[in-house]
Each structure stands twice: as structure tokens, then as C-alpha cells.
Amino acid sequence: MVVATSGAAVDRGGSAPVPLLIAVGALTFVCACGGLALSDLIGRVSAIWLANAVLVYFLLKHPLRMWSAILLAGLGGNFAADLVMGDSLGTALALTACNAVGVVVLSTPLAMMSLQSDLSRPKPLYVFYALALGPAPIASALLSAVYFHFALGRVFAHQALDWYATDALGYSIVVPMLMTVKLDALTKMFGRDQILVTLLLFGVLAGALALNFFARYPIAFLIFPAVILITFQRGFAGGALALLMASAYLMIPVLAGDGHVLPTVHSLRSQIIVVQIFIAVIGFSVVLVGAALEERKRLEQGLAQAIVRAETAREEAIVARDAAQRANRLKSMFLATMSHELRTPLNAIIGFSELMHNELYGPLGDARYREYCGLVRRAGHHLLSLINDVLDMSKIEAGKFELHRQPFDLREVVHDCLELMRDQASKGAIALVEETGDRPLHVEADRRAMKQILLNLLSNAIKFTPRGGRVAVRAWAANGVMTLAVADTGIGIPADQVASLGNPFVQIRSSAGASHEGTGLGLALVRALTEIHDGRLSIESTAGKGTTVSVVIPCAADDEMRAA
């Protein structure tokens, strides 16, 4: 049997190499002569026709640019065999043309759909069988039946059926074997680590053949499970060798007139047909079982590779997570250290600018100096506020921010914050409104954190509210839940930016595309302080109309607050 190597040598030039063409012509000549000799022996009924199957194999294993040369070489060998075996020139030409039609009809669609590379896969194999059992042998059988009917007077139906059977069997059994059996698989099967089991498997088949030969009654049905067992254990390579072994055992005694192999039938023609059907069944089973095993092997390899990739990805994710956590800790440590280092000289700048601004030790002289001192003082306070925010954020991210819960009246915090922000609001003619009711709102939380939350919300509201606008602070408590809301009549927030607010260093942009002064830490700090209180932050905004930011925090409260 001719087997496919794991990587067929393909000429890179524009035509097929001469040794390849000689091999194609010689093999098709030998196969055709053998088939014709058997046909003459048993009365125009051939065994499995191998010549066309061999030619199809060579076409499928080589690129389209070589096909014309390969086809001419193979058909030339077929034509020469017809002449050598005694056919007339006209008959030889007609038979060669019929064979050419079948070969082209089978090979061309597979090549056009790029399915010829691996017939061990289900889809290419199904398409191949559809062509090998359908249009390819049918077309050549009909053409041959027409010729023999009109030229030699043979019965059209019998001629077409005989041609179809031998051609279809040759295609469907031989081609898949040639395309799927790899030389390295054969070598591996008889390698040092597998040879004992391989010999044992073929010994089982040999035992089944011997039992069938020497038994009083033919029991050829034992051959089938033995061949399938070898296919399961050794794949296409083992199945192909087992099928060759079984085919030789079944065919040679029949041609020699020995009746031990199969139940005695009345004619050699009938015996040949029975043997062909038996071999065809075994061959189909070997191909289908082998394809299923190859597909399972590919799936198992794919699954193993996927598991390896998933494990690798998991390990990489763990490494990346650890690196990110380490980087985050280093960042927090850096921010905390730098914030402390920056606050020391900054406090000195603010302190001395306060002394100069208040002219504690005498007048400064020119009014512009007082103006500049005021600018230095305000810039210092602003920078200190930013540094404090960064420090608090770094503490929260590092898990070192400690809450100091204590009972207090929330209205006092609201009042203090409004007083601190009133000067800033007055510069923009913005009205600050307190809407907390006339009864105490006793809650239990971190007072400093609540003050920081409210100051940041007020600062943002004033910053984004146009001159003459209004900012209102609302606070209420019920059922152990405190709500603190700041509503403004400012520029509002576009809908596509609301979701990103509350993340560090994220600011909204005005319609002109410019961002406002600040780092974007204020709202992020509000969210962080709210969440460590087990609360939540919500933002409701309409562009051009205003924004309401609400902080909802669960907190213990006394009876007076619950009654409010």
C-alpha cells in the first residue's frame, strides 16, 4: 500500500517533477493491468478498481498547478494498460475518458473547497464520501455504459452497475486510507514502546483468520471486530494494515477457488461480489472509526492546550494582581509620606502669610503687597486642602483610615460648613440655604469625616454654580438612616459623564471642553468616606439645570432622632 507521509513533498516550481510523473504513470499502469486481468478472468466483473483511486490520491496531495501533468501521466498509464490488455484503440480512448471524468469530478470540488488536506476530519470526509459514492462514479459509469452498449452491445444497466460498484469501492476505501495513513504513525506503531502490543493485536486478527480457515464452518464475522480493535488501538495506520491483511485473506482464496473463506456460492462472480461487499463494510468502518478517533484526539489536545492556557492565564493574573497590589501599597505609602513632608513647609508658608496679611508687626506699605499676601495665603490654603485630600485617600486605599464614631447633631456640622463656605459663595453672589428643619438630628458617625464630606460637596456645588445661583443643604434621618444632600442650580452634568464621577482624578468638562480648577479628588474622597461608613453616594443631574448629590449612611440614632 502507498502511504502518505506526514508532509508530502511538493515541488515549488511551476510543473510537476519528472520522477513524480513516472511514479504516477507506473502505478496507475500496474493497478489498471491488474484490474483488467481480473476482469477478464471472471467475466468483466473487476475487484475494487485501484487505478483511479491512486490517481485521485496524487492529485489531492499536490497543488493545482501540477494537476494537468499528473492527470496526463495517470491517464497515460491507464490508456497504456488498456492497450496492453488487448483493448482496441477506440475502446482504450473511451475507457480512459470515462476514468478521467470520474477522477476530475471527485478531485476538483475537494480542492476548490480546500478540503483535501485532512480527510480524517468529519466535514472533509463526509464531502468526500458524498462525491465518491455519488456524482464521480455515476458520471463515469453512465458514460462507459453508453459506449459499451452502442459499441459492443452490452446491457446498459448491468454495465453501469458493475462500473459504478468497482469505481465507487476503489474511491471510498483506498483514497481515505492513502490520505490518512502517515509514515510516522506506521513507524511509531512498531517502535520499541509499542511493538509488543501491536504484534499482540495483529496476532488476534491472525487468530481470527486462522480460525475461519480451519474451522468446519466459515466464521468470517470474527474478522470485523478484530480489525476494529486494531483501529481503536492504532488508529488509521493499524486499521489500514489490518484491512490489507483481511482483504488478502478473503480475496486470494476466492480467486484460487477455495471455499473455506466464505459460504459456498454458485459462481465466481457471486463470490467476488460477496467478498467486495465484506471488504467494503470493513473498510468503511475503519475509516469512520479512525476519523472519530482522530477527532477525539484533536479535541483532547485542544482541551489540554486550553487548560494549559487557562492555568497560565490564571498564574499571570495572580502575578499581575500581586504586582498591582504591591504597586498600590507603594503608591499609598509614597502619597502618605509626601503629603506629610509637604504639609510641614506649607504650614509655615500659610502661617507667615497670615502674619503678613494681618500686619501683625506693622504695615506692609504698598497695597499690592497686601494683595499678594492674600493670594499666597489663599493658594496655600487651597494646596493644603488638596494635600489633605490626597493624604486621606491614601489612608483609605491603604486601609489605615480609622473611623471615630461619636454621637452628634448633624445640624451643627451643616451650620459650621455653611459658615466656612459663605465667604467663597458670596464672591459669586451665590445663596447658601440650610434645609435641616427645626429639630436636632442626632446621629452616630465620624464627625470629622461628615464635615469633610459636606465641605467637598459644597465646594463642588459653589464651583459649578453660575453667579446669582443657589446651593441648598438638606439633611434628614429616619429608620436608622441618615441622608445628606447638596443641591445646586449650576451647569449640571452631561449624562455620559455621571457614571465616571467619584473616581479619583476625574473631573467633568464644560460645554466648551475646559475643566475647572481642582484635581478631581473631592468627590472621590466623598465616595470613599461614605463607603467606609457602609453608605452610598448617588448623583442626580440635568445639564443646564443643576445637580443633587446625596449621601446615605446607616447610623445609630437616639429616640429623639427617630421621632423626628
Break the chain into its structural domains and give their ranges: 14-180, 317-397, 405-509+516-563
What local confidence, expressed as pLDDT, does residue 539 receive? Answer: 87
**Cell match 455620559: residue?**
496
Instruction: Write the single-letter amino acid at 406.
Output: Q
What local confidence, expressed as pLDDT, does residue 506 receive? Answer: 47
What local confidence, expressed as pLDDT, does residue 526 receive? Answer: 87
> CATH number for the 317-397 domain, one of 3.30.1460, 1.10.287, 2.40.30, 1.10.3470?
1.10.287
For residue 20, the SS3 value is helix
The rounded distance, in Å, linking the Cα atoms of 215 and 210 is: 8
Counting as low any pLDDT under 70, the low residues of the chain are: 1-15, 40-47, 216-218, 254-273, 276, 332, 335-344, 361, 366, 369-370, 382, 398, 400, 498-520, 556-564
Average pLDDT, the chain: 79
What local confidence, expressed as pLDDT, does residue 338 receive? Answer: 67
Q: Note whether 317-397 and 405-509+516-563 share their fold.
A: no
- Given a contact cutoff of 8 angstroms between Cβ atoms, the answer to whether 145 and 160 are in contact is yes
Helical spans, DSSP H, in 359-446: 367-397, 410-427
The dihedral through the CA atoms of 232, 234, 240, 246 has a sign that is negative
For residue 435, the SS3 value is strand
| The CATH number of domain 405-509+516-563 is 1.10.540.10 | no
The rounded distance, in Å, linking the Cα atoms of 34 and 41 is: 11
Q: What angle do CA 514, 516, 521 make, to 5 degrees?
A: 125
- Given a contact cutoff of 8 angstroms between Cβ atoms, the answer to whether 253 and 261 are in contact is yes
The rounded distance, in Å, linking the Cα atoms of 110 and 560 is: 87
462 phi and psi angles, rounded to 5 deg? -65, -40
Those residues with Cβ within 8 angstroms of residue 99's Cβ, 6 or more apart along the chain or in another chain: 51, 52, 55, 75, 78, 140
Element (H, E) at 483: strand 481-488
**Cell match 446615605: residue?**
552
The rounded distance, in Å, linking the Cα atoms of 157 and 163 is: 10
Burial (0-12, 13-18, 19+ Cβ within 10 Å), 176: buried
Supply the pTM of this predicted model.
0.50
Cα separation values, 494 from 193, 248, 499, 506, 526, Å: 72, 84, 10, 14, 20
- Given a contact cutoff of 8 angstroms between Cβ atoms, the answer to whether 69 and 16 are in contact is yes
In DSSP terms, 431 is beta-bridged to 470
- HSE-up (13 A, CA, CB side) for residue 18: 0
User: How do beta strands 546-554 and 536-542 pair?
Assistant: antiparallel
Closest CA to 235 of 283, 180, 171: 180
